[in-house]
């Protein structure tokens, strides 16, 4: 959602802030702003709606703002329309004019998250003479900090902790105080915020790519902590105002991984990075020819004692869970339920002894998934996080952690993170099957060999992209697309449909093929595109039969199947083949053509592939 950046050091702050914000554009935003302080002078605030280049033009690429300490923000509107006046940063006084000036303000701040009791707090502040110029909850927080700061004549840390006690909701805050030039104060609860340090400079950001160009030394500020940031240094405090230690983490990502590297879009680059993401994730889990979950903390005795598994996730991660459900149940014989995290958190689901709750999240900060994790822990379940970001909140709070190695993913529509999660869950399923005696040693070796071959097979699928680009030009004006499949093919259909709708804006739905006749087939009309995923041998003929029912009602058909099933061509209008592999792992191959189809369709429609409308990369609010 919203993006936060901050800088304090020797260099001019505004150009650095703009650069950081540009690297957070993938998170989604509708307006942006900067606040820069030059010594003890009041902060100068500049805001703009729309794309970031409007703010850059307004500030002469940041050169017009003097000062070596500042904060910046890209806003995703929650409270209040996407207007200049509602854009961040916000100030404790009366804004001198929409878009510039800080008036009589002593505190300036930016905020990511949602303050649930902002109306109650606003009423309190109105009674104490504060005047509000915006419709945002952020302005309320900034003024509340100012209120405590002045009423009790306390320092910034104590004013912020008093505010944190009163505020309900989620937030990452970055604040500057007129009385403390050259310093930035930060706090967080449930919304991501990192602090990086280098020689004579410090940085704040919502995500690593924003500051990776400047430093690899990063602090992951913990929940309900406050940070006091000065050039080259960060000091952390708990809610009592007592200093506390936060470990310094060295980011291992290559800075080039967050660049397009010659590709037209990040999404296309990340589709092509899937072989590496799958290989690296698998190699991190396989030691000396055997799957080793020691780093994840999942012991064999624990695996043997499991009575059930619940997978909680959102979006594409939920689709990973849907695929994993079939594989775990078939290989390991453990009952699995897959729950949308946004629903799980509000259900009163009993947790039987021996239940493992697996939470899957690329960012490790997804609000609903984090809430589901906490609910599971409250109910006494053992929890395992499958995440891509070391030090993320979900990773820190889960009992066990299995890291994927997809590297930074910039495009809003996930591709390589999905594939890395999928191979991680497949490896987990195979190891559970071995430990519980669900497979023989020979089968285990076969499954390992099949997984190890997936990266090269994904590369072979990518070589067929020109045909998919051609086909996408034929469906660019489609109004409705239906994806169907059974079993694992249904799980792949779910992801394919999401890829199509989220970046091409074409209405698409995914259905278990057998459900077509229970109502959905009434939507099929002349020219409707139906895409069938046909990779599961025992279910192949049944799904083809369902597709023929659609064809008889005027639908055009596309089929995705494995090499050798050439009879499909007699039934459908366009066929895509993927290499053969063990059927448990074919989703890793079948999803790639659907990713490419969505990508090329979006490009053909002239859309913003990497930053689709109304969407954000990391959903950190409910």
List, for residues 264-302, the tens digit of each pLDDT value. Answer: 899 999 999 999 999 999 999 999 999 999 999 999 999
pLDDT digits (tens, 9 = 90+) for 144-189: 999 999 999 999 999 999 999 999 988 999 999 999 999 999 999 8
Q: Which of 486, 612, 473, 621 is nearest to 540 (CA)?
A: 486
**pLDDT value at residue 486:** 94
Is the pLDDT score of 103 beyond 50? no
**CATH 3.40.50.10490, the chain: domain bounds:** 254-452, 464-605
Query: According to the model, what pLDDT value does residue 254 have?
Result: 66
**pLDDT over 90 percentage in the chain:** 73
Whether domain 3-251 has CATH 3.40.50.300: the reply is no
Compare 546 and 457 and report the one with higher pLDDT: 457
Helix, strand or coil, per DSSP, at residue 543: helix
Assess whether pLDDT exceeds 80 at residue 80.
no
pLDDT digits (tens, 9 = 90+) for 414-443: 999 999 999 999 999 999 999 999 999 999
pLDDT at 95 over 80: no
Please give the average per-residue pLDDT across 355-371, as a whole number. Answer: 93
- Residue ranges of the chain assigned to CATH 3.60.20.10: 3-251
Tens digits of residue pLDDT in 383-393: 999 999 888 88
The C-alpha angle with vertex 544 and arms to 501 and 536, in degrees rounded to 5, equals 80
Which residues form the catalytic set? Answer: 2, 617
Name the band, by pLDDT with cuts 50, 70 and 90, for residue 613.
confident
Q: Output b/e per residue, 252-271; b: 16+ Cβ within 10 A.
A: eeeeebbbeeeeebbbbbbb
Tens of pLDDT, residues 482-541 = 999 999 999 999 999 999 999 999 999 999 988 877 877 878 888 899 999 999 989 988
**What does DSSP assign to residue 100?**
B
Contact 58/89 with Cβ under 8 angstroms?
no
Cite the beta strand spans of 26-98 per DSSP E. 31-37, 44-49, 69-75, 90-91
From first CA to last CA, the distance across the chain in angstroms is 11
- Write down the pLDDT at residue 496: 97
In angstroms, the CA 282 to CA 609 distance is 29
Residues of the chain above pLDDT 70, percent: 96
* CATH C-level class of 254-452: alpha beta
Question: Can you give the C-alpha Rg of the chain in angstroms?
Answer: 26
The maximal CA–CA distance of the chain, rounded, in angstroms, is 80
pLDDT band, residue 101 (cuts 50/70/90): very low
pLDDT of residue 57: 94
Cα separation, 134 vs 318, in Å, equals 37
Round to whole Å and give the CA distance between 397 and 452.
31
pLDDT (average), residues 126-153:
94
Instruction: Tell me the residue ranges of DSSP E strands in 330-381.
Output: 336-340, 355-361
Mean pLDDT of 300-324: 97
Q: CATH homologous superfamily for 464-605?
A: Glucose-6-phosphate isomerase like protein; domain 1 (3.40.50.10490)
Phi, psi of 438 (to 5 degrees): -80, -15
Task: Determine the 3-state secondary structure of 524 from DSSP.
Answer: coil
The answer to whether 321 and 313 are in contact (CB under 8 A) is yes
Identify the weakest region by mean pLDDT among 172-181, 416-425, 543-552, 596-605: 543-552
Compute the distance between CA of residue 190 and CA of residue 393 in angstroms, rounded to an integer: 8
Report for 308-322, 358-372, 568-582: range of highest mean pLDDT: 308-322
Question: What's the pTM?
Answer: 0.77
Among 149, 153, 173, 175, which Cα is nearest to 162's? Answer: 149
Residues facing 176 on adjacent strands: 108
Show the beta-strand stretches assigned E in 134-215.
169-177, 184-189, 194-198, 201-205
Among 178, 170, 172, residue whose Cα is nearest residue 92 = 178
pLDDT for 59: 93
Tell me if 34 sits within 8 A of 17, measured CB to CB. Answer: yes
Q: What is the pLDDT of residue 373?
A: 96
Is-contact 386 339, C-beta < 8 A? no
* Secondary structure (DSSP) of 50-62: SSHHHHHHHTTTT
- Residue 316 in tokens: 């594409």
The mean pLDDT value for 46-61 works out to 93
Q: Among 71-80, 169-178, 396-405, 493-502, which stretch is predicted with the lowest mean pLDDT?
A: 71-80
Q: Tell the burial category of 232 from Cβ atoms under 10 Å away from its Cβ (0-12, 13-18, 19+).
A: middle
Q: State how far the Cα of 514 lies from the Cα of 499, in Å rounded to an integer.
A: 22
H helix or E strand, kind and range, residue 328: helix 315-332
């Amino acid at each position: 959602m919203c993006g936060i950046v901050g800088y304090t050091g020797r260099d001019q702050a505004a150009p650095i802030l703009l650069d950081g914000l540009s690297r957070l554009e993938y998170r989604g935003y509708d307006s942006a702003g900067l606040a820069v302080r030059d010594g003890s002078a009041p902060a100068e605030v500049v805001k703009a709606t729309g794309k970031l280049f409007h703010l850059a033009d307004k500030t002469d690429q940041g050169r017009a703002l003097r000062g070596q300490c500042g904060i910046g923000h890209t806003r995703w509107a929650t409270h209040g329309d996407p207007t200049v006046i509602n854009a961040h940063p916000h100030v404790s006084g009366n804004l001198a004019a929409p878009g510039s000036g800080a008036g009589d303000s002593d505190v300036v701040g930016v905020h990511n998250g949602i303050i649930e009791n902002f109306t109650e707090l606003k009423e309190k502040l109105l009674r104490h003479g504060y005047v509000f110029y915006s419709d945002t909850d952020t302005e309320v927080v900034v003024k509340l900090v100012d209120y405590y700061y002045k009423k009790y004549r306390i320092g910034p840390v104590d004013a912020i902790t008093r505010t944190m006690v009163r505020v309900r909701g989620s937030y990452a805050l970055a604040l500057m105080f007129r009385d403390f030039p050259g310093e930035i104060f930060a706090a967080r609860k449930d919304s991501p915020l990192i602090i990086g340090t280098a020689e004579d400079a410090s940085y704040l950001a919502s995500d690593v790519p924003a500051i990776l160009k400047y430093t690899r030394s990063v602090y992951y500020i913990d929940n309900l902590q406050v940070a006091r940031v000065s050039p080259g240094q960060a000091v952390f405090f708990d809610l009592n105002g007592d200093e506390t230690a936060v470990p310094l983490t060295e980011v291992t990502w290559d800075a080039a991984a967050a660049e397009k590297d010659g590709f037209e879009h990040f999404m296309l680059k990340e589709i092509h990075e899937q072989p590496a993401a799958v290989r690296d994730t698998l190699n991190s889990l396989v030691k000396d020819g055997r799957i080793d979950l020691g780093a994840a903390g999942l012991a064999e005795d624990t695996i043997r004692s499991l009575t059930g598994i619940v997978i909680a996730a959102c979006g594409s991660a939920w689709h990973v869970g849907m695929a994993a459900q079939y594989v775990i149940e078939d290989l390991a014989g453990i009952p699995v339920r897959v729950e949308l995290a946004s629903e799980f958190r509000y259900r009163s689901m009993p947790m039987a002894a021996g239940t493992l709750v697996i939470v899957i999240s690329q960012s490790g900060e997804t609000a609903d998934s984090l809430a589901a994790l906490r609910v599971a822990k409250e109910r006494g379940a053992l929890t395992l996080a499958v995440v891509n970001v070391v030090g993320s909140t979900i990773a820190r709070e889960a009992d066990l952690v299995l890291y994927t190695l997809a590297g930074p993913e910039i495009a809003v529509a996930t591709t390589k993170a999905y594939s890395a999660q999928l191979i991680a869950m497949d490896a987990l399923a195979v190891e559970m099957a071995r430990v519980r005696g669900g497979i023989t040693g020979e089968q285990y070796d076969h499954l390992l060999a099949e997984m190890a071959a997936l990266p090269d097979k994904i590369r072979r699928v990518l070589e067929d992209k020109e045909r998919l680009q051609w086909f996408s030009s034929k469906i660019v004006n489609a109004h409705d697309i239906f994806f169907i499949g059974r079993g694992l093919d249904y799980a792949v259909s779910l992801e394919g449909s999401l890829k199509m709708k989220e970046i091409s804006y074409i209405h698409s739905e995914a259905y278990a093929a057998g459900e077509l006749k229970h109502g959905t087939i009434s939507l099929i009309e002349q020219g409707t595109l139906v895409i069938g995923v046909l990779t599961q041998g025992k279910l192949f003929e049944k799904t083809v039969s369902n597709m023929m029912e659609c064809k008889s009602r005027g639908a055009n058909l596309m089929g995705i199947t494995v090499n050798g099933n050439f009879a499909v061509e007699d039934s459908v209008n366009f066929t895509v083949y993927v290499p053969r592999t063990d059927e448990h792992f074919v989703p890793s191959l079948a999803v790639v053509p659907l990713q490419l189809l969505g990508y090329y369709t979006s490009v053909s429609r002239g859309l913003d592939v990497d930053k689709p409308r109304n969407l954000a990369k990391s959903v950190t609010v409910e």
